[in-house]
Homo-oligomer: A and B are copies of this chain.
Amino acid sequence: MAVTIRDVAEASGVHVSTVSRAFSAPHLVNPVTRTRVLAVAEDLGYRPNRAARALTTGRTHNIGLIVADIANPFFPPLIKAAQAQARLRDYHVFVADTDEDPQVEEELIQTLTKQVDGVLLCSPRLTNKTIERLREEVPFVVVNRRVKGMPTVLMDVGRGVRLAVEHLTGLGHRRLALVTGPSGSWTSKEMQAAAAAMSEADVTFLGPNAPTELGGLAAVTDVIASGATGVLAYNDLVAIGLIEGLAERGVDVPGEISVIGVDDIVPGRLSRPKLTTIAMPTAAAGRIAVDLLLGSVDSEAAGGVTVLETSLIVRDSTGEANS
């Protein structure tokens, strides 16, 4: 049915190996034969069969991208960037969604493992031990989590947290709260560590919470009880949920409580009040992670740790402490 390399070989009067090389090892074939072969191939509409190629080379030209939840607006920009970058390198991306479940995450990696050349693990909830074990089976690049000896792309939330806390204390807030994320989240731990390290601030930790609007909604009672007037949420979704919940209780943001999110997702830019947030360079992370992964696939060189900058974007959900 489909046109194969042998059809092209026959039509252009050379051996199949020459056709093969015309595509995958141009320097090994005479330029004039090469152009002729390519022309014939184009003419016949030849497209190399990836499965066949994968069989001999051991490269599927696919990569896996594992995220906790596609529905979280944090991920789509990262996914898009990763896909675009992969496509540039003639790779395709399997996106898989773990529903925030470490169990599912591990299974997914297992089944993906044999059909991809490498896996991008975004904010994994797995234990380090598990990740290191899985690592034997397929190259990884980890995003938003530090795992010993693994190529990693990190976003410097610590810095963002420091900026956020300074912003809040600068506005006169004395009692702060950090609405933390899921218990397995590296980012959440980083945020706690960064906040705890700031001796000038009095911050209580509230959590763990689901990294969604519902998680924010659920944290409202604790936030109010904490007496904090400045709140840093695990992410924008949580912040939005929190603001909603506070509004329902008649608490004004930023009038009574200031709220800061993390991620700078689009809904946060358009919500009311517009969300003050720590911007994460998600697209850059996706792009770089793919480069790192494909780099470590081709050469055995395991990349190090890349840290991307974050920044604080001040909008309308934070204001002066009133007292």
Contact = CB atoms under 8 A, between A and B. Distances in A.
Interface in A47-64: 47, 49-52, 54-55, 60
A89 to B, nearest CB: 13
A270 B244 CA distance: 7
Contacts of A79: 70, 95, 97
Contacts of A71: 73, 76-77, 80, 266
B55 A51 contact: yes
B94 A115 contact: no
Contact of A272 (B76, B94, B115, B247): B247
A137 to B, nearest CB: 9
A158 B244 CA distance: 32
Interface residues of A, number: 42
B92 A92 contact: no
A257 interface: no
Nearest to A213: B270
Interface string A269-297: 01110000000000000000000000000
A85 interface: no
Contacts of A83: 96-97
A99 B81 CA distance: 12
A139 interface: no
Contacts of A55: 49, 51-52, 55
A240 interface: yes
A272 B79 CA distance: 29
A170 interface: no
Contacts of A54: 51
Given A77-B71, A79-B70, A94-B93, A50 B270 contact: no
21 contacts: A49-B55, A49-B114, A50-B51, A50-B114, A50-B115, A51-B54, A51-B55, A70-B80, A71-B80, A71-B266, A73-B73, A79-B95, A79-B97, A87-B111, A92-B112, A92-B115, A93-B95, A94-B94, A241-B270, A244-B272, A267-B267
Given A47-B114, A92-B94, 4 more contacts: A51-B51, A69-B76, A71-B80, A79-B97
